[in-house]
């Protein structure tokens, strides 16, 4: 049974060593003797995370839960885990008091050093991306297995802790349960938004730039003549898309896993709107009839498996070569490899001119990160706009001191008549607009604190943004990415602003 004190000790030791190898050795030595459940608890703690996710406990709550320290360590990892589990479940009336009581009881059992660790763990101060990065090697070293095998299993499991528990208790054969098999779809890799082409190339250097088609994600598995098609949510849709089956059945390779986009194109090659493509995926229809009315095209952009070789861990460049070997060019997404910003921009503009959504820029040496929004894929899309209402504004800093600058933006909720905050921006504001808005905001002030002035929701502003992402921070569950001000819309009243339903629809369309 392992105690928290031992984990704190190794965590401090690792923080004090700069040698990567020494860190790996120390962490591996610590993990090796742990029990299965302890591994699942300890592994996230070591990189500053908690397996329950965020606990929503702030400094203030921690302050009021302060207790005198225990003189000797006695907390087991399971004890801490159980308290976190309960904290996560406490909701509703009296929740704050209950949380404080739970935390106080935990702190009373912890030594001063353990208390310090727990506080920093809870508020997220210990989070260390770099350590997370070496954990694959730690688990491999602790289990005596090749790091590549552990990395691959993590790609399929999506998180490392269960893989670590399996590897340490069951060795190589237990890892195999996380491998991919033909006709068992895996979660697709997702992309992160980039502000523009320039930012994408600055992040990736030389990159593979591909058309981003606004259709439906498809993962196609082929084993000899057996071909199956799965959606992004891993539903099987083989019977609905006979033309995709036929296209892949004719491929040069005998077994394949392909990742791509299905899209309905007009006779002139331009795409139909997204809902038209999606109409082919409904279940209640005669596939042959629908195919004749609205044929689908398919463009593959990744090859994850070819004739017995698993390619997930291989760099983009190699997976792309495999794709070219397996399929005729007409089935491969148009692409360009470049580090030249002008050339990339031209390709992006061509994609837009052809009616597509934008481009994907992909790191040439990145692996395929199943189920993850990997930093190796950046999407550059034509910006969209929404008319939103300014709910509050934060005072500017530096050159903007004295001006209300960072806008809190909300969409209208037709059900309640109130506004749902979607994000903030201080971008796109000229000095003249800053001066004007500061004056207008102060006329509409409801109240303020040190940083923020809250306003009557009366001013409509047109906002350009590149993307929407799920967010636990905002009340609508969605947040704008790369939002910037295009201009105020004095011609519009708050009742004319875009609704949260519209925003949700845009998001739903973007994730199909």
CB of 306 to ligand AMP, least distance (A): 18
Q: Which positions from 300 through 359 interact with ligand AMP, judged by CB under 6 A?
A: 301, 333
Name the packing angle between helices 341-353 and 197-204 (round to 10°): 130
**In the complex, what is the shortest distance from the CB of residue 241 to ligand AMP, in angstroms, rounded to a whole number?**
15
Choice from 150, 213, 363, 460 touching ligand AMP (CB under 6 A): 213
Alpha-carbon span 6 to 189, nearest angstrom = 37
Q: Which residues pair with 425 in a beta bridge?
A: 407
Q: Which two tokens stand for residue 128?
A: 């260390």
Query: What are the C-alpha distances in Å from 371 to residues 16, 139, 227, 233?
Result: 33, 20, 22, 10
Task: Report the distance separating Cα 222 and Cα 258, nearest Å.
Answer: 8
Count of helix runs (H) and strand runs (E) in the chain: 18, 19
Enclosing H/E stretch for 500:
helix 500-510
Give the active site residue among 212, 362, 381, 424.
212
Closest CA to 243 of 284, 200, 299, 203: 299
> Closest CB to ligand AMP belongs to which residue?
217
Which residue number, 134 or 213, has a Cβ lying nearer to ligand AMP? 213
Q: How far is the CB of 472 from ligand AMP (least distance, A)?
A: 18
Q: How far is the CB of 155 from ligand AMP (least distance, A)?
A: 16
Task: Tell me the closest approach of the beta carbon of residue 211 to ligand AMP, in angstroms.
Answer: 6
Cα angle value 348/353/359 (rounded, 5°): 30
Identify residues 229-268 at the interface with ligand AMP (CB under 6 A): 232, 261
Q: Which is nearer to ligand AMP, 164 or 197 (CB)?
A: 197
User: Which position among 272, 290, 314, 379 is part of the footprint of ligand AMP (CB under 6 A)?
Assistant: 379
Count the site residues for ligand AMP by CB under 6 A: 14
DSSP 267: T
Decide if residue 277 touches ligand AMP (CB under 6 A): no
Phi, psi dihedral angles at 149 (to 5 degrees): -65, -40
Q: Per CB under 6 A, which region of 156-164, 210-218, 398-406, 431-439 contacts ligand AMP?
A: 210-218
Among 95, 176, 375, 511, binds ligand AMP (CB under 6 A): 511
With the CA atoms of 92, 96, 101 and 106 taken in that order, what torsion angle do they form, in degrees rounded to the nearest 10?
100
In whole angstroms, how close is the CB of 468 to ligand AMP at the nearest point? Answer: 9
Residue 217 engages ligand AMP in binding (rule: CB under 6 A): yes
In the complex, what is the shortest distance from the CB of residue 108 to ligand AMP, in angstroms, rounded to a whole number?
46
Q: Which of 86, 98, 385, 510 binds ligand AMP (CB under 6 A)?
A: 510
Residue labelled with tokens 């910003």 = 341
| Nearest CB to ligand AMP, comparing residues 231 and 425 | 231
Q: Which residue in 122, 143, 175, 191 binds ligand AMP (CB under 6 A)?
A: 191
The position carrying tokens 């004295």 is 402
Q: Both tokens of residue 8?
A: 């704190």
Burial of 129 (0-12, 13-18, 19+ CB in 10 A): exposed
Q: Which of 109, 212, 280, 290 binds ligand AMP (CB under 6 A)?
A: 212
Site membership for ligand AMP, residue 2 (CB under 6 A) = no
Placement of tokens 């503009």 in the chain: 349
Query: Both tokens of residue 70?
Result: 């225990």
| DSSP class per residue in 114-131 | HHHHHHHHHHTTT--HHH
Does position 369 interact with ligand AMP (CB under 6 A)? The reply is no
Structure tokens at 124: 């997220």
Decide if residue 210 touches ligand AMP (CB under 6 A).
yes
Is 424 catalytic? The answer is no
Catalytic residues: 212
> Which residues would be at the binding site for ligand AMP (CB under 6 A)?
190-191, 210, 212-213, 217, 232, 261, 301, 333, 360, 379, 510-511
């Amino acid at each position: 049974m392992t105690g928290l004190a031992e984990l704190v000790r190794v965590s401090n030791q690792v923080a004090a060593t700069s040698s990567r190898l020494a860190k790996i050795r120390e962490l591996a030595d610590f993990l090796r003797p742990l029990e299965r459940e302890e591994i699942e608890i300890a592994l996230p703690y070591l990189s500053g995370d908690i397996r329950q996710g965020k606990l929503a406990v702030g400094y203030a709550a921690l302050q009021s839960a302060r207790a005198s320290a225990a003189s000797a360590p006695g907390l087991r990892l399971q004890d801490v885990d159980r308290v976190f589990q309960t904290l996560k479940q406490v909701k509703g009336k009296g929740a704050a008091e209950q949380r404080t009581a739970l935390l106080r009881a935990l702190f009373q059992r912890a030594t001063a050093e353990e208390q310090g660790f727990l506080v920093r763990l809870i508020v997220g101060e210990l989070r260390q991306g770099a350590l997370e990065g070496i954990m694959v090697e730690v688990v491999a070293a602790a289990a005596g297995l090749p790091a590549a095998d552990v990395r691959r299993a993590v790609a399929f499991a999506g998180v490392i802790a269960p893989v670590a528990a399996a590897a340490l208790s069951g060795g190589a054969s237990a890892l195999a349960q996380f491998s991919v098999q033909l006709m068992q779809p895996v979660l697709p890799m997702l992309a992160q938004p980039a502000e523009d082409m320039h930012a994408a190339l600055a992040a990736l250097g030389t990159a593979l730039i591909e058309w981003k088609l606004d259709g439906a994600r498809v993962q196609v598995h082929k084993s000899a003549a057996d071909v199956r098609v799965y959606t992004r949510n891993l539903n099987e849709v083989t019977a609905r898309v006979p033309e995709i089956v036929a296209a892949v059945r004719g491929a040069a390779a005998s077994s394949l896993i392909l990742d791509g986009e299905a899209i309905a194109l007009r006779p002139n090659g331009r795409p139909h709107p997204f809902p038209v493509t999606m109409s082919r995926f409904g279940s209640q229809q005669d596939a042959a009839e629908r195919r004749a009315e609205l044929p689908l095209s398919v463009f593959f952009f990744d090859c994850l498996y070819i004739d017995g070789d698993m390619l997930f861990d291989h760099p983009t460049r190699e997976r792309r070569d495999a794709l070219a070997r397996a399929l005729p060019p007409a089935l491969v997404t148009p692409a360009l490899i470049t580090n030249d910003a002008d050339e990339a921009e031209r390709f992006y503009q061509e994609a837009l001119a052809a009616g597509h959504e934008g481009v994907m820029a992909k790191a040439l040496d990145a692996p395929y990160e199943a189920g993850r929004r990997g930093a190796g894929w950046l999407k550059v899309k034509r910006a969209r706009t929404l008319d939103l209402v300014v709910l509050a504004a934060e005072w500017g800093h530096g050159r903007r001191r004295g001006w209300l600058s960072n806008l809190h933006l909300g969409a209208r909720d037709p059900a309640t008549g109130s506004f749902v905050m979607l994000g903030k921006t201080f971008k796109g504001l000229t000095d003249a607009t800053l001066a004007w808005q500061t004056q207008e905001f102060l006329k509409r002030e409801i109240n303020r604190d040190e940083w923020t002035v809250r306003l009557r929701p009366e001013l409509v502003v047109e906002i350009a943004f590149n993307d929407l992402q799920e967010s636990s921070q905002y009340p609508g569950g969605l947040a704008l990415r790369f939002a910037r001000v295009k201009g105020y819309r004095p011609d519009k009243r708050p009742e004319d602003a875009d609704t949260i339903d519209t925003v949700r629809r845009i998001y739903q369309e973007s994730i199909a």
